[in-house]
Structure formats: C-alpha cells, structure tokens
Amino acid sequence: MRTTVFTTPLITPLLRIIAIVILKLTGWKAMGEEIENPRFVLIAAPHTSNWDFALMLLIVLKLRLQLYWMGKDSLFPFGFGWLMRWLGGISIDRAKSHNVVNETVRQYREHESLVILIPPEGTRRKVTTWKSGFYHIANNANVPIMMGYIDATTKEAGLADFFQPTGNLKQDMSEIRAFYSKKKGLRAENS
C-alpha cells in the first residue's frame, strides 16, 4: 500500500504531536486504544459536517491507526488529488459501478493488516437509510466492523467496539444503527 499521512517518516510523528495538542486545546477526547495488526472495516458516523474529516484525522493520528478512506471522486480535484490520496483517500466514482466491494474484499485477502474507513451515510446531510457497501465488504472479507463515532454532546470521538457481521443484513444494520442512535454530529440537525 502507498505512503500516507499515517506512514510518512518524520512527518507522521510530528503530526501526531500536533493532533494531540489540538485535541487537548479544543477539549475533544480521543476514545479507543492503539490496535496491533489492525484488519477491519471502520465506519464513522454521524457524518454531518466537513469538519468531521479534520476531527477524525486528529483522532486517527492520536490512536496511531493507519488507514485508508473512501470518498466521492469530487473530493479529488485536479491539482489536489495527490493531497487527498496522501491523506489516505481512495477515490470512488459513485456514478458508475466499478465493483468496489469485490475489489476491496480482494485487498483484504492480500493484506494481513488493512483498515478502510467508509462513511455509511454516504453524505453529510441527514439520511434515513445507510449505504450497505461497508457491510458487504466486511461480511465477504470475513473481517469485523469497527464502529467509529463522533459525539458532539460529549466532545468524544474515536473507536467504540467491533461488530462481527452475521450475514443477516437487516438485523445487523439495525443493531449497528442502534449504537449510533444517541450520537450527535457536529451539526446536530444532520444527525
């Protein structure tokens, strides 16, 4: 896998210190612990603001997690796409079917350690139905789902717990959504 903000020699340790200082100054708490040899699909919700990305970047740096994240292709404009890829981004053209689930499952089979963050809401607006790609990737790759979260009411963000998919999409999604039901995003009206 390519070098990212989470794996760049000299720069990553410096950014980690900066992340810890910013979190301390802003009163946000990073929840969770460093995970050895991580191999899971990470979801993060609620996704209500562009600031969610910056906050989760700080949390991930503090927790020493190395990950990649999926985002719509418009986040990778000409001239800045390199920066988004260095930040761990994987561009997804949502207008076309590119067999993203199968390709991502293949990546999990080929790498002993891999974390891909997927925002299940698919947008920053309030939604009633989540996209299920993250679930199918985890289920088909036989890896757990780590439930990452932001909760603006408690100023906590981080990693909560693993969820092992059973193959029963409807029941599992109901259980996952129940965990997030009390979490409020940075823009509460979109939670």
Q: Decide if 3 is inside a domain.
A: no
CATH code for position 103: 3.40.35
> Whole domain around residue 138: which residue ranges?
11-190
In a domain, 4, yes or no: no
Tell me whether residue 6 is in a domain. Answer: no
Given a contact cutoff of 8 angstroms between Cβ atoms, the answer to whether 116 and 39 are in contact is no
User: What's the longest Cα–Cα distance across the chain?
Assistant: 45
Residue 119: inside a domain: yes
172 in a structural domain: yes
Q: pLDDT in tens for each of the 191 residues of the chain?
A: 789 999 999 999 999 999 999 999 999 999 999 898 899 999 988 877 888 889 999 999 999 999 999 888 888 999 999 999 999 999 887 666 668 899 999 999 999 999 999 888 755 556 667 889 999 999 999 999 999 999 999 999 999 999 999 999 999 999 999 999 888 878 766 55
Residue 183 lies in a domain: yes
| 2 lies in some domain | no
Residue 78 sits at φ, ψ, to 5 deg, of -55, 135
**Residue 1 falls inside a structural domain:** no
Work out how many domains the chain is built from and give that number: 1
pTM (whole model) above 0.95:
no
CB contact set of 5 (below 8 Å; sequence gap of 6+): 11, 12, 15, 57, 61, 86, 87, 88
